[in-house]
Amino acid sequence: MQEESQSGWRGRLVTFVERPAFLNFITALILFNAVTLGLETYPLEAEWFDRALPVIDMVIVSIFVAELFLKMVAYGPRFFKSGWNWFDVIVVGVSLFPDAGAFTVLRALRILRVFRLFSVMPEMRKVVEALMRAIPGMGAIIMVLGLMFYVSAVMATKLFGISNPDLFGSLGGSAFTLFQVMTLEGWAMEVARPVMAEVSFAWIFFLVFIVLTSFAILNLFIAVIVDSLQAKHFDEEEERENRQEVEARADRDALRAELAAIRADISALRSEVGQGMRDASAAKARDKDE
């Protein structure tokens, strides 16, 4: 009886924390907190402003702590099986450290609370989960890109290091310059043309490097991420179809059970009617004999 009562109030608590109105309230509070944290960066010379923001921040953190406590009570041990719940606990926990001494640097990490939108908005959560699933595939691409950078940096240092020591004087400097070239940020006027003024064939090196990195390798990153998003979408569709199939099978089993019960009732009714007719016939026969 006690377990049923506990399950009852815990079930009502789960329903409360999963209610759309509650989730919308938390989402709105996160957005409002993002605005207040941004206002702290403005040099507003108002005494009431400096007093109000810490109070608002304290109230918001208290609500977040209460929300997490309600979820812990509602879900029980299941709460800690979700990586998103751990993310919420860590992000909110950072805000509980005192703003003094060695913990002063953690004050800047309060803005991480805005990332809680990932956990409360399913659409954003799907994108983040797809990105996490794409990391193994992206690892191989990063290794290819790193190898290409190393080879290109060594070549650039050997070819252009003497004529342009500021850009390609060392392996590290060449790698940084080539990273600028890969991003296509001022690569022509700031890198390529000064080098071409000293080495006429340098344009071949830069064009090949840009084609291989900016247009080929980086597009592979996009392809892996898009493939991960599609795979997650297909997995969700398959899960939904499996759930529908399970529900349909349960409905069919229930319908078969009901039909079997109806047949049993009809058979019993026929037996009773038949037995009644036989008893009536036997009674008439006895009456005639008498």
pLDDT tops 70 at residue 283: no
Quick count: other Cβ atoms within 10 Å of Cβ 152?
21
Can you read off the two tokens belonging to residue 136? 């193994």
Give the range among 30-39, 45-54, 85-94, 276-285 with minimum mean pLDDT.
276-285
Tell me whether residue 274 is in a domain: no
**Could you list the residue range(s) of the whole structural domain that residue 219 is in?**
125-247
Domain with residue 205: its CATH number is 1.10.287.70
**Do residues 107 and 31 both lie within one domain?**
yes
| Rounded average pLDDT over 107-119 | 74
- Nearest Cα neighbor of 204 from 148, 146, 149, 155 is 155
191 near 119, Cβ under 8 Å? no
Tell me whether residue 45 is in a domain: yes
Which residue among 73, 93, 120 closes a domain?
120
Tell me whether residue 263 is in a domain: no
Tell me whether residue 278 is in a domain: no
The rounded radius of gyration (Å) of the Cα atoms in the chain is 35
The structure tokens 């399913």 sit at 122
Residue 147: Cβ-neighbour burial (10 angstroms; 0-12, 13-18, 19+) = exposed
| Residues in contact with 99: Cβ distance below 8 Å, sequence separation at least 6, in sequence order | 106, 107
Predicted confidence at residue 226, as pLDDT, reads: 79
Tell me whether residue 260 is in a domain: no
Banded pLDDT at 2 (limits 50, 70, 90): very low
pLDDT tens figures, 233-253: 666 667 777 777 888 788 888
Domain with residue 35: its CATH number is 1.20.120.350
Tell me whether residue 268 is in a domain: no
pLDDT tens figures, 214-225: 888 778 878 887
| Residues in contact with 69: Cβ distance below 8 Å, sequence separation at least 6, in sequence order | none
pLDDT tens figures, 40-62: 777 766 676 777 888 888 888 88
Tell me whether residue 261 is in a domain: no
- Count the domains in the chain: 2
What's the whole-number average pLDDT of the chain?
Answer: 80
**Do residues 95 and 22 both lie within one domain?**
yes
| Long-range Cβ contact pairs of 52-57 (< 8 A, separation 24 or more) | 57/33, 57/95, 57/110
**Do residues 175 and 69 both lie within one domain?**
no
Banded pLDDT at 156 (limits 50, 70, 90): very high
| Rounded average pLDDT over 84-100 | 77
**Do residues 67 and 160 both lie within one domain?**
no
